[in-house]
């Protein structure tokens, strides 16, 4: 007998919530990722079969598809205060004296001061209602859509408290900060200065998909309002939030007097570098809420709490050299070699300078005396140089003209801070080039993943991208964990990939900014690879979807002789170099812009997008005056309102299907 879908859905949600809590809050997963994914997949499948059963607190509802136009505002119930700072134990002693003037006995609860972004989250009847930033303390921004994506923050509490408003800190763990900055460096983007900026940047941007792609977490430390719940101390607040399934930092201590506070602060000053997130101090709070009432607050901060700030960990040292590295994606980045110094628990002897703009801006020269710290408590970084300490023998460095790994031309793609090696076969980036070349969106060679590519390159079997097309079965069989059967299969997949359309080959070449979608558009206009050698930026920019950045990188890719050679060899290996024209004549929806909103019943968003694109139309994520049609599904978002406001033609799902069909028929003629 089949279980009825309602109870199975509820059961799945309950189990998934519990596992999210185990994984994201307790850091103690009880099942494997694959098992968790299977539960989510089952819930997703049931919910798409029974869409009327979807509720906003379902674990599937963390990321909606909509990009926002702007944030609305939310008025805070009470002004959100900030804290006065103490920079020494003497400052703390003074704070303690002030407290003891008004209360007889001061028991403190000392917490970590998490270096993140302050947020307020409101639950109604136990369900996530909204979330706001601190803003000016009175009015914040409604960042609900972004906050919902943070898995440590429950969409449903353990009990249905009529209304609960809590304040906490959203933060980015140190490792995630390092990962995102590495990614930014590789993309030629500016890096985040510290995890706090990274967290703020991730919360205060309009696309929830971006927030979801970054691993953020949170700790809650204050109950602003709890309807029907009597709480008398900070300890009780923390316990209550913990019981409700909210993440509460376990590193706090109840201190009977200020001496105990000093001891705990000292302890943490040493332990802080071992924590997976950054703290910039400790927060000392009077535990009793009644005692807090006695002390009151000023306009800006409570008199019953203080932030003890750790002294910044910075050291002076000297730049011995500035070397240039080629990263795995071809980014050419300067690194300073330093006279070793002990910094935040480790010896530091090099500091990445991310890009040459930063070297220039901070005016860092070989031989300079510099001040260093660790960004996000892990990445050694030069804060500044001391020009007044120069002898005159210091040497400025410039970006190289030629790649230090392969001597090819170095280019600086428009809109990026990075300099890059333009050669797809540069030994420094060959593995990445190959991984990308074989990947699903590109040539889609099944079985040729990073592990296989690693071995092919390490063993010298592949020195240039085109070499994969001359691999033999024997060579493949020599690789680890590759039997005769899998070697034959891989060889077949390699051969099959020769038939891929030009758009995939263009994508596979890893031309900066040219993603699969733009490659499809491009290959519709220039359907043979030979044409690309002679294209000019101006010509390319005639195509509405092709901007200056893409035009420039397409031209510079084909200008590099080593790349042309690879293209010629790929042709010689028998790769297809044309895009079959699906249609004759001009595309009927050319120049028409569509926006999709809400859930479509008969197709997914990506299917709808494909239909539109195949007829020459384009799909964009936000509604503007230039939008021609807005396709409205079930439960449309703010894009619908905007479309109505701007008077844009609305299509329901049937009308959309009819429009597509009509144009397809037009076309078949
Ligand atoms: S208590 C009235 N506790 O530090 C309550 N703040 O200026 C004020 N912060 O804006 C905040 N960890 O963003 C408190 N355990 C903690 C905290 C904490 C980080 C942040 C918060 C606040 C700033 C203090």
User: E-strand spans in 273-418?
Assistant: 279-286, 305-309, 315-326, 331-343, 346-352, 369-375, 379-385, 410-411
Whether 113 is a known active-site residue: answer yes
* Beta-strand relationship, 593-597 and 629-632: parallel
Give the per-residue pLDDT at 666.
Answer: 66
Q: How confident is the model at residue 615 (pLDDT cuts 50, 70, 90)?
A: confident
How far apart are the CA of 649 and the centre of ligand 1, in A? 48
Q: Is the pLDDT of residue 268 over 60?
A: yes
Supply the residue whose CA is at minimum distance from atom 8 of ligand 1.
Answer: 82
List pLDDT tens digits, range 513-529.
899 989 998 998 898 99
- Given this model, what pLDDT does residue 259 score? 97
CA distance 463 to 558: 20
Of 611, 596, 517, 642, the residue nearest 65 (C-alpha): 596
Q: Which residue has the tokens 């059961």?
A: 11
Question: How is residue 244 written in tokens?
Answer: 């409700």
**Cα torsion through 66, 72, 77, 79, rounded to 10:** 120
Ligand 1 centroid from CA 483, angstroms: 58
DSSP string over 382-403: EEEE-GGG--S--B-----SB-
pTM of the predicted protein model: 0.78
Which of these, 460, 462, 416, lies nearest to 435 by C-alpha position?
462
Residue-wise pLDDT for 408-443, tens only, equals 999 998 889 999 999 999 999 999 999 999 999 999
Question: Which residue, judged by its Cα, is nearest atom 17 of ligand 1?
Answer: 113
Fold that domain 5-61 belongs to in CATH: Helix Hairpins (1.10.287)
Rounded to the nearest 5°, which phi and psi values hold at 396? -80, 150
Pocket test for ligand 1, best of 78, 79, 82, 140 (most atoms within 8 A of CB): 82
What ligand 1 atom has the least distance to the C-alpha of 297?
2
Residue among 171, 241, 307, 308 to mutate when testing ligand 1 (max atoms within 8 A of CB): 307
Q: How many angstroms separate the alpha carbon of residue 220 from the centre of ligand 1?
A: 10
Question: At a CB cut-off of 8 Å and minimum separation 6, what does 434 contact?
Answer: 448, 453, 456, 457, 462, 465, 468
In contact, 656 and 631? CB cutoff 8 Å = yes
pLDDT digits (tens, 9 = 90+) for 193-226: 999 999 999 999 999 999 999 999 999 999 999 9
What is the CATH number that goes with domain 75-309?
3.30.470.30
User: Sign (positive/negative) of CA torsion 140, 145, 149, 155?
Assistant: positive
Pairing status of strand 331-343 against strand 315-326: antiparallel
Query: Which of 187, 194, 149, 189 lies closest to 173, judged by CA?
Result: 194
Count CB-CB contacts under 10 A for residue 583. Answer: 15
Residue from 118, 132, 199, 306 to probe ligand 1 pocket by mutation (most atoms less than 8 Å from CB)? 118
d(CA 142, CA 404): 48
3-state secondary structure of 346: strand
**Do the two domains 5-61 and 315-389 of this chain adopt the same fold?**
no
- Atom 11 (ligand 1): residue with closest C-alpha? 82
pLDDT above 60: residue 25: yes
pLDDT band of residue 581 (cuts 50, 70, 90) is low
Q: Are 470 and 461 in contact (CB under 8 A)?
A: no
- Which 3 state secondary structure label does DSSP give 86? strand
418-580 topology per CATH: DNA polymerase; domain 1 (1.10.150)
CATH architecture label of 593-667: 3-Layer(aba) Sandwich (3.40)
Q: Of 336, 337, 350, 332, whose CA–CA distance to 417 is shortest?
A: 332
Mean pLDDT of the chain: 93
What number of other Cβ atoms are within 10 A of residue 440's Cβ?
9
Cα separation, 629 vs 566, whole angstroms = 42
Q: CA-based angle 214:166:300, to the nearest 5?
A: 100
Q: 82 alpha carbon to ligand 1 midpoint, in Å? A: 6
> Please, where are the H alpha helices in 188-305?
195-203, 208-212, 234-243, 258-271, 289-295
Q: How far apart are CA 421 and CA 402, in angstroms?
A: 8
- CATH fold of 315-389, please? OB fold (Dihydrolipoamide Acetyltransferase, E2P) (2.40.50)
Nearest-atom index, ligand 1, CA of 112: 15
Residues with a CB atom less than 6 Å from ligand 1: 81-83, 111, 113-114, 118, 169, 221-222, 283, 302, 307
Q: Which helix (H) or strand (E) holds 490?
A: helix 484-497
Domain ranges of the chain: 5-61, 75-309, 315-389, 418-580, 593-667
Residues 6+ apart with CB under 8 A from 252: 109, 110, 111, 112, 238
pLDDT band at 140 (very low <50, low <70, confident <90, very high): very high
């Amino acid at each position: 007998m089949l279980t009825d879908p309602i109870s199975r859905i509820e059961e799945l949600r309950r189990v998934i919530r519990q596992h999210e809590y185990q994984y994201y809050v307790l850091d103690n997963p009880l099942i494997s990722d694959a098992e968790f994914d299977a539960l989510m997949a089952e819930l997703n499948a049931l919910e798409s079969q029974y869409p009327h059963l979807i509720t906003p607190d379902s674990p599937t509802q963390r990321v909606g598809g909509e990009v926002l136009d702007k944030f609305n505002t939310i008025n805070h119930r009470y002004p959100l205060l900030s804290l006065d700072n103490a920079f020494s134990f003497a400052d703390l002693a003074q704070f303690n004296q002030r407290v003891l003037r008004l209360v007889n006995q001061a028991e403190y609860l000392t917490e970590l001061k998490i270096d993140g972004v302050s947020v307020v989250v409101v639950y109604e009847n136990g369900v996530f209602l909204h979330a706001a930033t601190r803003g000016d303390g009175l009015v914040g921004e409604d960042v609900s859509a972004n906050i919902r994506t943070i898995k440590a923050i429950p969409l449903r509490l353990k009990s249905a408290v009529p209304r609960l408003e809590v304040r906490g800190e959203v933060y980015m763990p140190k490792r995630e900060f390092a990962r995102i900055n590495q990614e930014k460096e590789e993309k030629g983007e500016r890096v985040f200065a510290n995890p706090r900026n990274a967290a703020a940047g991730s919360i205060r941007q309009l696309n929830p998909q971006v927030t979801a792609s970054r691993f953020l977490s949170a700790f809650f430390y204050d109950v602003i309002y709890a309807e029907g719940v009597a709480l008398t101390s900070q300890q009780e607040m923390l316990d209550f939030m913990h019981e409700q399934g909210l993440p509460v930092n376990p590193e706090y201590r109840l201190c009977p007097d200020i001496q105990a506070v000093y001891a705990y602060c000292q302890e943490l000053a040493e332990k802080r570098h071992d924590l997976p997130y950054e703290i910039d101090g400790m927060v000392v709070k009077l535990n009793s809420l009644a005692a807090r009432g006695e002390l009151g607050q000023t306009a800006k901060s409570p008199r019953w709490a203080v932030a003890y700030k750790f002294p910044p960990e910075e050291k002076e040292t000297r730049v011995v050299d500035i070397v240039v590295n080629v990263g795995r994606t071809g980014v050419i980045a300067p690194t300073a070699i330093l006279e070793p110094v002990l910094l935040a628990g480790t010896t530091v002897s090099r500091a990445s300078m991310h890009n040459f703009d930063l070297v220039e801006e901070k005016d860092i020269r070989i031989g300079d005396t510099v001040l260093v710290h660790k960004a996000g408590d892990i990445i050694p970084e030069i804060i500044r140089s001391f020009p007044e300490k120069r002898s005159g023998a210091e040497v400025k460095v410039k970006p190289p003209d030629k790649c230090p790994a392969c001597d090819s031309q170095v280019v600086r793609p428009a809109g990026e801070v990075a300099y890059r090696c333009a050669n797809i076969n540069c030994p420094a980036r060959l593995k990445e080039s190959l991984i990308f070349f074989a990947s699903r969106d590109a040539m889609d060679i099944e079985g040729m993943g990073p592990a296989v590519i690693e071995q092919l390159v390490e063993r010298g079997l592949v020195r240039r991208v085109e070499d994969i097309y001359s691999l033999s079965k024997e060579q493949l069989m020599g690789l680890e964990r590759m039997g005769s059967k899998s070697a034959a299969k891989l060889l077949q997949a390699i051969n099959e990939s020769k038939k891929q359309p030009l758009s995939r080959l263009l994508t596979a070449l890893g031309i900066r900014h040219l993603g699969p979608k733009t490659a499809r558009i491009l290959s519709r206009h220039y359907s043979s690879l030979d044409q690309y050698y002679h294209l000019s930026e101006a010509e390319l920019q005639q195509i509405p979807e092709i901007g200056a950045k893409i035009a420039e990188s397409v031209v510079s890719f084909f200008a590099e002789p080593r790349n042309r050679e690879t293209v010629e060899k790929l042709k010689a290996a028998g790769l297809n170099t044309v895009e079959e024209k699906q249609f004759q004549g001009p595309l009927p929806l050319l120049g028409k812009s569509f926006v999709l909103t809400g859930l479509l019943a008969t197709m997914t968003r990506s299917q709808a997008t494909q239909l539109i694109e195949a007829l020459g139309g384009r799909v964009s994520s936000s509604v503007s005056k230039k939008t021609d049609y807005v396709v409205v599904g079930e439960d449309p978002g703010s894009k619908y309102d905007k479309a109505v406001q701007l008077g844009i033609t609305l299509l329901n799902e049937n009308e959309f299907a009819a429009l597509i069909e009509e144009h397809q028929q037009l076309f078949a003629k």
